[in-house]
Amino acid sequence: MNWFAQHRQEWIADMLAVYGFINRDHLQRKFRISQPQASADLQAFTRRFPKAMHYDLSRKCYVADV
């Protein structure tokens, strides 16, 4: 994993800790990345930390598992 991908992974963890949720749009706006890249980053985070968050269909975002 390169520095940029690692930085995005750390930012996802920070946003879950601070706000309790995150979605693709947050990543796209913060890092100016494409929607497929934002999806890939969230999937990679889920693979690394499977119990850290889950997707909430009604809110259309990933929610931290407390």
Mean pLDDT for the chain overall: 96
What topology does CATH give the domain 3-64?
Arc Repressor Mutant, subunit A (1.10.10)
**DSSP reduced 3-state for 63:** strand
Threshold 0.85, pTM exceeds = yes
pLDDT in tens, 21-42: 999 999 999 999 999 999 999 9
| CA–CA separation, 45 and 6 (whole Å) | 10
Q: Is residue 66's pLDDT more than 90?
A: no
pLDDT value for 61? 97
What single-letter DSSP state applies at residue 33?
-
Q: DSSP E strands: which ranges in 5-60?
A: 21-22, 53-56
* Cα angle value 55/59/44 (rounded, 5°): 25
